[in-house]
Amino acid sequence: MSASATIAQTPAPPYYAVIFTSLRTDSDNGYGVTADRMVEIAQTMPGYLGVESARDGLGITVCYWQTLDHIAAWKAQAEHDLAQKMGRETWYQAYHLRVAKVERAYGFARPE
Amino acid sequence: MSASATIAQTPAPPYYAVIFTSLRTDSDNGYGVTADRMVEIAQTMPGYLGVESARDGLGITVCYWQTLDHIAAWKAQAEHDLAQKMGRETWYQAYHLRVAKVERAYGFARPE
């Protein structure tokens, strides 16, 4: 599985989640390569805490960050800004982006 | 597409998101039927705003609610409580649940 096909190991709340839900067009045009690249870059950004991603028709990517300022810096990152433009021009039929403050969290793991 | 394979039409923030990320076991044992039933019941609960769901290896379901009290009522709903127990006993290898307050949101839709 890729890094984005695992449950993110996030710290105790509070922290922030960016929930990005999308429907793709039929156009590939570099989408997969760019999506992988965006995860690579995000992981190098200050305040990055993790990412989770799945798609079957609907795509959901949740990226976790320490603060709203870290999210703003990631949104403005040059390569990411270009990818967002490509997303609106080419890759996405529609999307919705939500910024949310994680207040509570808990996990479960089956005993080995 | 099913109701859960569309982008949820949520009101202006603030509202709450429950982000449920999971890895399944190999056991089906009624999982699909129960998952569909849980969405059906959730839609009848007070404060329900919408749901988005995708799985490819990792599963991500985001359910939207008006308030924390509405989330607590849904968590305690009898059939849902039973499903949560089945989840821990049978269906999930691991999961992480995060309750987050949506502070900002915006959408994009390709012009027709």
pTM, full prediction? 0.95
Using the CB atoms, write b or e for B73-102: b if 16+ within 10 Å. ebeebeebeebbebbeeebbeebbbbbbbb
User: In the predicted model, is pLDDT for residue A67 greater than 90?
Assistant: yes
Report CA A23 to chain centroid distance, whole Å.
Answer: 15
Using pLDDT thresholds of 50, 70 and 90, give the confidence band for residue A112.
Answer: confident
Q: What average pLDDT does the structure give for chain A?
A: 94
Q: Is the pLDDT of residue A4 over 80?
A: no
Residue of A nearest to B112 (CA): A93
Q: Chain A interface, mutation test: which of B27, B102, B108, B112, most A Cβ atoms within 10 Å?
A: B108
CA A69 to chain centre: 16
Give the rounded percent of residues in chain B with a pLDDT score beyond 90. Answer: 91
Q: A35-56 burial string, b = 16+ CB within 10 Å, else e?
A: beebbebbeeeebbbbbbbbbe
Interface test with B, best of A6, A7, A10, A67 (most B CBs within 10 A): A7
Domain boundaries, chain B: 29-102
Peptide bond into A111 cis (omega under 30): no
Cα–Cα dist B53/A43, whole Å = 24
Does the B29-102 domain belong in CATH 1.10.10.10? no
* ipTM for the complex shown: 0.94
Topology of A12-102 in CATH? Answer: Alpha-Beta Plaits (3.30.70)
The minimal CB distance from B52 to the residues A60, A88, A92 is found for: A60
Report the percent of chain A where pLDDT is more than 90: 91
pLDDT exceeds 90 at position B33: yes
pLDDT digits (tens, 9 = 90+) for B56-77: 999 999 999 999 999 999 999 9
Residue B75 to chain A, least CA–CA distance (Å)? 14
> Across chain B, what does the average pLDDT equal?
94
**Which of B52, B93, B89, B83 is closest to A62 using CA atoms?**
B52
- For the segment A68-97, the average pLDDT, to the nearest whole number, is 97
Q: What pLDDT score does A3 carry? A: 46
Give B-chain residues touching A105 at CB under 8 angstroms: 96-99
> CA-to-CA distance for A26 and A43, rounded, in angstroms?
28
For the cut 80, the answer to whether the pLDDT of residue B78 exceeds it is yes
> What is the average pLDDT across A77-104?
97
Q: What confidence score (pLDDT) does residue B2 get?
A: 46
pLDDT tens column, B85-100: 999 999 999 999 999 9
Cβ contact B94:B14 at 8 Å: no
The strand pair at A92-109 and B92-109 is best described as antiparallel
Whether pLDDT at B112 is above 50: yes
Q: CA-to-CA distance for A68 and A18, rounded, in angstroms?
A: 10
Q: What distance in Å separates the CA atoms of residue B14 and residue A100, rounded to the nearest whole number?
A: 9
Q: Is the pLDDT of residue A41 over 50?
A: yes
Residue B22 has pLDDT above 90, yes or no: yes
Q: Which of B60, B100, B107 shows the shortest C-beta gap to A102?
A: B100
The stretch A47-71 carries a mean pLDDT of: 97
